[in-house]
Structure 1
């Protein structure tokens, strides 16, 4: 699909983002551009600022400097266009909600906080649940699911939101291969629709081939681009230090 006529206005741009935690600089002067229709992987060692980057872009934590712009406006003023799934460790799985409850939460902004869900909202939530293969789990308490199933439920919630920008923080931790395959398949479907999908990941294995663009971080941006541009020995040494094994695959 050709997005050339709208790519300029739908570009996501982070400019000079810096974040300090007290006396520690967690992120330093990070700038990059993401065009619509891409699945973007954010990589780097533990403590590199990957999650911090996403949270700063979304305004969930304060930035010391910098801005994030989408369609010419601050991203923090367009939260209705964003779906965000944090790390599973940050979610209270004891909360008394069913799978259906969680997926319907993706329709709250569309319906309004004090309004009943419309037939359209319920249909879109049901369609999203079907896409991730969990229709039969609709009435199951979310805390009773496996890690992979839980991740698929939150993907379904994101689909129900009909967001243009989707952010996932370590979605592949503790999931099975079936879930990983489903996630990547849907990520690419969303990108094909012209949406932008940004994924914090730590796996330097074969799954790295699934990303159209890579951001390599270690508190500052080491490199941004396709695999050939980013996965060089020099860049990986700067990011990880010493020797690190990574999958190069075919030329991007």
Structure 2
């Protein structure tokens, strides 16, 4: 595990043509903690994650991990995009997709090692879909599809895990499995960052939060971020959320 204790986001900004999607975001993402990125629709949650990983080009700022830019260390990152960004008609089985998590360590067009196959099999067991190993991915439910890509991420043996709305449209069983695994990763010292789409009960699973509305509203522990003032600033008006989450 890298000795770096946090991802340092420093004055990160993103602009699409003439529209500022993010302005001057500065925050830290600590290892050993499960961190959620939250905010209203259009707040720039996915944009922040993609800008951190270099998937969209920032107009300002940088992201550091240890003493190097994160974009120079992407071999240490496992990224799970939104399910809507994945081509589910691609002719691949569950096993094919999970093994893709070993390509960086194996190399293209090379045979997967016994270790890689064992890691893939263990990951499928861990997410509870080993029985679907030979199923085409297009025949899976939304929750099963999400578990496939979580298994793929696990096989990468990454140090940083970045997930873009992994809980959208999934069943409660899958949600519980996803959170259990993310907590296990955090507790073993990994850096885990998740874009989350609402303020429902699931938000209590996060240790830390980054609250956005095109700029940083607040970051830190869940208790410190989910204050009525911060929620009002981010969402405006009355936003129903569990009062026990608020300071």
Q: Which band: TM-score by shorter chain?
A: over 0.9
Report the counterpart of residue 144 of structure 2 in structure 1. Answer: 149
For residue 115 of structure 1, what is the aligned residue in structure 2? 110
Q: 2:94 matched to 1:99? A: yes
The CA distance in 2 between the partners of 1:169 and 1:115, in whole Å, is: 30
Q: What is the distance in 1 between the residues matched to 2:239 and 2:95?
A: 42
Work out whether 1:244 is the aligned partner of 2:239.
Answer: yes
Structure 2 match to 1:127: 122
**What is the correspondence of 1:1-252 to structure 2 with a 5 Å cutoff?**
6=3, 9-249=4-244
Residue 190 of structure 1, CA deviation: 0.3
When the two structures are aligned, how many residues end up with a matched partner? 247
Instruction: Report if aligned partners of 1:19, 1:62 keep a CA contact under 8 Å in 2.
Output: yes
Instruction: Please report how far the alpha carbon of residue 186 of structure 1 lies from its aligned counterpart in structure 2 after TM superposition.
Output: 0.2
* SS of residue paired to 1:167: strand
What is the CA deviation profile of residues 163-197 of structure 1, one whole-angstrom value per residue up to 9, with x for unaligned ones?
Answer: 11111111111100000000000000000110011
Unaligned runs of 5+ in 1: none
After superposition, what is the alpha-carbon deviation per residue over 1:186-237, rounded to whole angstroms, capped at 9, x for unaligned?
0000001100111111221211110010000000000001122111111111
Report the TM-score, using the length of structure 2 for normalisation: 0.97
The offset of 1:112, in angstroms, is 1.4
CA distance in 2, matches of 1:113, 1:249: 50
Quote how far apart the aligned CAs of 1:244 are: 0.5
What SS does the corresponding residue of 1:104 show, helix, strand or coil?
helix
Task: State whether residues 64 and 70 of structure 2, in contact with CA within 8 Å, keep that contact through their aligned partners in structure 1.
Answer: yes
Q: Distance in 2 between matches of 1:229 and 1:190?
A: 23
- Normalising by structure 1, we get a TM-score of 0.95
When the two chains are superposed, the root-mean-square deviation of aligned CA atoms in Å is 1.5
CA distance in 2, matches of 1:169, 1:189: 18
18-27 vs 204-213, which deviates more?
204-213
**Once the 2 structures are TM-superposed, how far is the Cα of residue 11 of structure 1 from its aligned partner?**
1.6
